[in-house]
Structure formats: C-alpha cells, structure tokens
Amino acid sequence: MGTAAPELGADASLQFFIDALSGKSVTITTCKSSSPQEVSASIEDFVGIPFKNQRWMVDCTEILFQEYATIGETDLKSGDRITVMHGGFALVDLPDAFETILTSARNRMNQVPVSSCNFIRTHKIQVNSQEEWMYYEPWRKHDCDKYLFDVKAHTLHAVSSKWMTWKRSLRGREPLSPFCLGWSSSHTQVPAGEKCFWRSEGQEDECGENGQLETGNSEHSQTFPDYAAVPGWFVAPFGDLCEIKVEIPLPFVCTPTGLKIIRLLIDKKGLPIRAAVQGCKVGFFDQDIEEFDVDFLPHEALCKPVLTA
C-alpha cells in the first residue's frame, strides 16, 4: 500500500524559474510563508521591474500575486516557470501633504440635466499626514459642506451648507487612514483579457439596447460603466495611459457612505488622470459608477483650515 506524500508546510522550500522578456533567466528559492513582496524584490534585483509594475504569467495564465499575503496562497508550485513582464505604470506614492480634486465628467460633457441635486459633483480633499488631519469638501449642485477630520485631536469639525457649525468626537472612525492605505496598497493591474473601463477614442460602445453592458450590470448591481448614460465619457484623453484597479474609500461624515474609487487611469509618472467612483447613485439621473476627472497636487506643506460659520 502506497504512502501519501507529506503536505508541504509553510516553511517548505519552493523553487521558481524566472524568465524575463529580455531573454534572461534566473532561479529563485523561497518558501510558502514568504510574502509576494519578498519574492518580487528578488525579481526586481534581477530584471529591474518594481513590485508595483510586475506581471507574472505561468502557462499563459496571469498570477495575481499582489492580491495575496503569502506565496502559498497563490497556488504556485515548486518548479513553476514564471514569465515576468512590465505591467504598466505604478500609482504615485502619497507625499506627506497633498490635495486631490475629483470633478464629475458630467461637467466636462456639459450634460443637461447634469445630475441629481444631491449628487456630489466635486470631491475636494486635502491631507497632511504628519499632522494627522484631512479636510474634505463635497460639492453638490447648490451647496457644499466642509469637514475637518483631526485624528490627533480625535475630533470632526464641520460647517454645513446651512452655515451651521458643529464639532464631535471621531469615536475611533476616521477616513484618513483608510484613504491612505487604499491608495498605497490596493492597486493591481487589470488582468489580461479583462475589459478596461476606459476606451480609446473612436472605440465603439459595447452597450445593450438599454445602455447596460453585457457584463453583469443590473438595476441593483452595477459592475461596469454604462457608456450610454453620458455619451462620450470613459474615453481615455490620450494614449500611453495605464488603467489600474484600486479600492480607495472616499471620506465619510458619520457613517461610511460606500463611495470609493475602484479604477484609476494613470500616466507615465503615476499621476491619476481619471477615476471611476462607485456608490454615486442618489437619484434618477445618476449612475452607481461615475467618471471623475482627477487633479493631484503634492505640497511641501499644508496649513490646517480653520472652520467658522
């Protein structure tokens, strides 16, 4: 009677054969408990492609290694031959102080009616991570609120559109850390063969009769932009841009709103040009997934705003 092979433990050695498109090859030895970042760092030393930019292919199948905590979770096996290629551009790292402004593409398209009254047309965010505060202005059609999240002081200070000011405790819930964590750690390349949100100029819309894409969109669950909702949006403004998946929650006030950036279109420098924001629908004219233009401005310093009614 045969004996079953022992199961590989977390510290068992794994050997991978790494091939670069340049023709170079190298053998890397690691273990199942190693992080993908550790293995990727060894590959970077060999091929010069940073962790954020690497794409791994095994027998024409992409290994989404960046989504896992350990190499063992990727189902890679000892002896696998991994082809490593440059997967595009990497999202710029957040500086200590920065400002980012998301402006609805509906403004650019001059759509009438632009949106529902409660739809947030502009998200203005300022951050000073060293001083641990975030300032947020959500602009709607007729009004704008102002919020200062002071993590160090554990307070939320606000001025509403009715010119009423109030202050309360953050109660352990603040949007600064989730925003920065999502920006720095959540991004992955769109897998080969998966549809991108942004089309090239002149590309034909792939919508059904009702403007709903044939990719799982429904009245209650939108997973892809509805190109027919605003003709001309989700078109890349120029070539040589890279689309990445992200999960960056936008600021909330009392409870999480569900608003989050789920895709970014970035340039060679890693600067975001366009954003797809999910959770936007508040009225008949709005979509759950909406396109926003992005301005990202690093600063050497930012002074904390003073809110008064």
3-state secondary structure of 259: coil
Q: What is the mean pLDDT of each run of 10 residues along the chain (309 residues)?
A: 45 87 87 90 84 84 85 91 82 94 92 79 96 95 91 92 83 90 84 87 53 49 91 91 93 72 92 96 92 96 85
CB atoms under 10 Å from CB of 14, counted, come to 19
- Regarding pTM above 0.85, the answer is no
- At 253 the pLDDT is 65
CATH number belonging to domain 13-86: 3.10.20.90
- At 300 the pLDDT is 92
Q: List beta partners, residue 272.
A: 266
- At 148 the pLDDT is 95
- At 117 the pLDDT is 85
3-state secondary structure of 182: helix
> In sequence order, what DSSP letters do the residues of 22-40 get, joined into one string?
TS-EEEEEEETTS-HHHHH
- At 66 the pLDDT is 80
Burial of 214 (0-12, 13-18, 19+ CB in 10 A): exposed
For the chain, give every domain's residue range.
Answer: 13-86, 97-205+213-299
> In sequence order, what DSSP letters do the residues of 146-159 get, joined into one string?
EEEEETTTTEEEEE
Report the residue count for the chain: 309
- At 277 the pLDDT is 97
CB atoms under 10 Å from CB of 172, counted, come to 6
Q: List beta partners, residue 290.
A: 277
- At 5 the pLDDT is 40
